[in-house]
Amino acid sequence: MREIYDVVVIGGGPGGYTAALYCVRAGLKTVLLEKLSAGGQMALSTQIDNYPGFEEGIDGFTLAEKMQAQAERFGAKTELADVFGADLTGPVKTVHTSEGDFQGRSVVLAAGAFPRKLGVPEEDALIGRGVSYCAACDGMFFKGKTVAVVGGGDTAAMDALVLSRICEKVYLIHRRDTLRATKVYHEPLMKAENVEFIWNSEVTELLHGDKLTGLRIHNKKTGKGSVLPVDGVFVSVGRVPASELFKGVLETDASGYIVADESTRTNIPGVFAVGDIRTKAVRQVVTAAADGAVAAHYAEEYLAEHR
Ligand code: NAP
């Protein structure tokens, strides 16, 4: 068995690395468990313009590397490990991973969220054959081609803009007739000559041979169906919190977000939830980072009371 850490952080996004940074600077022995590489969803963003301190913006991957390096400079340890379970009750908590068990007197959950699926038949089978959840990752595979983006939020708007610079034609399919996306995206989207909006519509079927060839669309207002030939579809319909592993142990809301207020404390003493995995109004890099600092504060307080 390894040493018992003061803090085990699960997830290496902005919330996780900020928690790790503040914990080690408070003298707490901290390990951060990350499945792939630093950054989480942030690392997939080509341009982040609303994280303070980078006046020209910064790409998410670089920002993630910087956050990791900063936390490690003060002694945070990163372990590449896939978490598949945890015993969170009791004074020493055990996190089960692909690389064995990690134990900590407190745990910060910062596992984030993953893309929500459309929920149409054969969606999984067509991933990598025309269905994608990340324009920044897969956009270049559709250079000069026709694609659709589904969704009306910031991610869909950003994806449509990124793709409009790479693809011949971009359809933006939204289930309502107004975008949820922040106003800053509206004008450039309306101005982009190769972006066409398809309002009040839902994708009901993925048409394909070996690869995706088109979408069957249902217009909710007219009740009419149509076929839209496309080479790719980018699904940007929101996110689902990565809280499945903790269901039944930690309190979650109806959408699966771990219930925690601004203090980041969950219903289990010594367990904190930060960033996109917790109940909150604004899910941004800057609010995830803020959560990390707050969690470190309350972890420190908890550990001082439970020595
Ligand atoms: P979101 O804000 O939850 O938007 C999801 C969109 O998908 C909504 O327009 C929703 O429609 C639609 N939708 C949901 N389920 C659907 C379904 N089954 N079929 C069709 N459409 C469906 O998600 P997001 O855009 O991924 O953004 C998540 C968070 O990250 C937000 O807080 C956002 O501000 C933030 N974000 C920020 C930036 C940035 O600041 N640079 C970039 C990306 C994301 P309705 O509108 O009808 O509900």
Kindly state whether residues 209 and 71 are assigned to the same domain: no
Ligand 1 pocket: which of 44, 120, 237, 278 to mutate (most atoms within 8 A of CB): 237
Kindly state whether residues 229 and 125 are assigned to the same domain: yes
Ligand 1 pocket: which of 150, 180, 279, 285 to mutate (most atoms within 8 A of CB): 180
Kindly state whether residues 43 and 184 are assigned to the same domain: no
d(CA 60, CA 113): 16
Kindly state whether residues 160 and 19 are assigned to the same domain: no
pLDDT tens digits for range 105-162: 999 999 999 999 999 999 999 999 999 999 988 999 999 999 999 999 999 999 999 9
* Residue 50 CB less than 6 A away from ligand 1: yes
**How many Cα atoms sit within 13 Å of 224 on the Cβ side?**
6
Kindly state whether residues 225 and 264 are assigned to the same domain: no
Kindly state whether residues 205 and 109 are assigned to the same domain: no
Kindly state whether residues 186 and 291 are assigned to the same domain: no
Residue nearest to atom 13 of ligand 1 (CA): 237
* Residue 200 CB less than 6 A away from ligand 1: no
Give the pLDDT confidence score for residue 137 in this predicted structure. 83
Kindly state whether residues 243 and 96 are assigned to the same domain: yes
Report residue 49 as tokens.
């313009």
Give the pLDDT confidence score for residue 207 in this predicted structure. 98
pLDDT tens digits for range 198-257: 999 999 999 999 999 999 999 999 999 999 999 999 999 999 999 999 999 999 999 999
Kindly state whether residues 146 and 227 are assigned to the same domain: yes
Domain boundary among the residues 179, 204, 235 is at 235
Kindly state whether residues 139 and 104 are assigned to the same domain: no
Residue nearest to atom 43 of ligand 1 (CA): 155
CA of 151 to the centre of ligand 1 (A): 7
The answer to whether 240 touches 256, Cβ cutoff 8 Å, is yes
Give the pLDDT confidence score for residue 2 in this predicted structure. 79
* Residue 176 CB less than 6 A away from ligand 1: yes
77-96: average pLDDT? 97
Ligand 1 atom with least separation from CA of 115: 26
Ordered DSSP codes for the chain: --PEEEEEEE--SHHHHHHHHHHHHTT--EEEEESSSTTGGGGG-S-B-SSTT-TT-B-HHHHHHHHHHHHHHTT-EEEE--EEEEE-SSSSEEEEETTEEEEEEEEEE---EEEPP---TTTTTTBTTTEES-HHHHGGGGTTSEEEEE-SSHHHHHHHHHHHTTSSEEEEE-SSSS--S-HHHHHHHHH-TTEEEE-SEEEEEEEESSSEEEEEEEETTT--EEEEE-SEEEE-S-EEES-GGGBTTB-B-TTSPBP--TT-B-SSTTEEE-GGGB--S---HHHHHHHHHHHHHHHHHHHHHT-
Kindly state whether residues 122 and 206 are assigned to the same domain: yes
Q: Using a CB cutoff of 8 Å and minimum separation of 24, what contacts does 95-101 make?
A: 95/8, 95/10, 95/33, 97/33, 100/2, 101/1, 101/2
46 has a pLDDT exceeding 90? no
CA of 276 to the centre of ligand 1 (A): 13
**How many Cα atoms sit within 13 Å of 207 on the Cβ side?**
12
d(CA 242, CA 16): 14
Kindly state whether residues 124 and 198 are assigned to the same domain: yes
Ligand 1 atom with least separation from CA of 182: 34
1 has a pLDDT exceeding 80? no
Q: Is the pTM of this model over 0.95?
A: no
23: annotated active-site residue: no
Residue nearest to atom 39 of ligand 1 (CA): 154
Domain that holds residue 175: 117-235
Domain boundary among the residues 203, 218, 235 is at 235
Ramachandran region, residue 261 (left: φ > 0; alpha: ψ -120 to 50; beta: rest): beta
78-83: average pLDDT? 97
Beta strand pairing call for 100-109 and 4-10: parallel
Ligand 1 pocket: which of 123, 175, 202, 287 to mutate (most atoms within 8 A of CB): 175
What is the pLDDT of the chain when averaged over all its residues?
96
What is the domain count for the chain?
A: 2
The answer to whether 127 touches 155, Cβ cutoff 8 Å, is no
Domain boundary among the residues 217, 235, 253 is at 235
Please pick, among 87, 137, 253, 261, the residue that the annotation labels catalytic.
Answer: 137
Share of the chain above pLDDT 90, in %: 93
231: annotated active-site residue: no
137: annotated active-site residue: yes
307 has a pLDDT exceeding 90? no
59-77: average pLDDT? 97
Residue nearest to atom 33 of ligand 1 (CA): 154
The CATH number for 132's domain is: 3.50.50.60
* Residue 154 CB less than 6 A away from ligand 1: yes
* Residue 117 CB less than 6 A away from ligand 1: no
